[in-house]
Amino acid sequence: MNLDFRRQKAFISGSTSGIGYAIAKSLASLGCEVVLNGRTQESVDNALVKLQEEVPEAKYSGLVCDFADTSQIDALLEDLGKIDILINNVGIYNDQDFFKTSDDSWNEQWEVNVMSGVRLSRALLTSMMKKDYGRILFISSECAVLTPSNLLAYSVTKTALLGLSKGLSGLTKGSKVTVNTLLPGSTLTDGAQNFLEAVAQKTGQSIEQVEKEFFKTDRPNSLIQRFETVQEIADAAVFLCSPSASAINGTALRVDGGSVGGLF
């Protein structure tokens, strides 16, 4: 297994915390130079301090960009430089009734979740093709397939990523560049932890009971019946971006604990 990332540089959108940070940390610990991203200088600086503490040998830098603000994206693209691995990770969701979801809410989720990946891939794929090496990975979601009714707008953006990723992989034909998508299941990030704690406080249940109830009612097909760890997602992402995944292109890999169901 070749997990050698030395002499490679990765940009991970939305990576000051959560799944994005876990991917950045794992890549950094395997020798990859990583570029972290968040919306404020403070959050980026804090994440870089944390990364240096956790991976002292890490090569890293940070770029501030709010993907909801299109006026910030050109500056980011100019500062990015040469990137071998692009992880389109940033994603936001609004837990909302379909009839109460405004156009602005739809547009914001589309901009951040889909257009960030469109713009970054458009800027970086050409140089990857010239170099004849590169990895683009989209972080979609189990919601791309499950489309929960309280997360319709979010789910639609995550389904769109499957088409975008597949289409882009077609542009890499005959090269050593790959474009793939990873579909995580419900994952224990700070947001999920806050959700569990809030429900536990409201209902008087323990956090373990809330988690059990969530999987019983909201994710009944899940085979693992628990939240995934960010490390479980990062491990799969690292493999897909590694030299060893050279024959995996145009694929959508579910790391959903079985929640989506189905044979494939």
Ligand X SMILES: NC(=O)c1ccc[n+]([C@@H]2O[C@H](COP(=O)([O-])OP(=O)(O)OC[C@H]3O[C@@H](n4cnc5c(N)ncnc54)[C@H](OP(=O)(O)O)[C@@H]3O)[C@@H](O)[C@H]2O)c1
Q: How far is residue 162's CA from residue 159's CA, in Å, rounded to a whole number?
A: 5
* Contact pick of 5, 9, 11, 18 for ligand X (by CB under 6 A): 18
Find the binding residues for ligand X in span 142-181 (CB under 6 A): 142
Q: Is 226 left (phi over 0), alpha (psi -120 to 50) or beta?
A: beta
Exactly one of 28, 112, 236, 237 binds ligand X (CB under 6 A); that residue is 112
Asked if 17 touches ligand X (CB under 6 A), the answer is yes
CA 238 to chain centre: 12
User: Bridge partners of 35?
Assistant: 11, 61
Choose the stretch contacting ligand X; rule: CB under 6 A; options: 23-31, 54-62, 136-144, 195-203: 136-144
- The answer to whether 133 is a known catalytic residue is no
Q: Does 117 bind ligand X (CB under 6 A)?
A: no
What is the smallest separation between the CB atom of 178 and ligand X, expressed in angstroms?
19
d(CA 153, CA 221): 22
What backbone torsions phi and psi does residue 14 show, to the nearest 5 degrees? 60, 60
- To 5 degrees, how large is the angle CA 252–CA 180–CA 54? 105
At 163, list the tokens. Answer: 């088409």
Give the x/- contact pattern for ligand X in 36-75, rule: CB under 6 A: -xxxx--x---------------------xxxx-------
Binding-site ranges for ligand X (CB under 6 A): 14-20, 37-40, 43, 65-68, 89-92, 112, 139, 141-142, 184, 186-187, 189-192
Catalogue the active-site residues.
Answer: 154
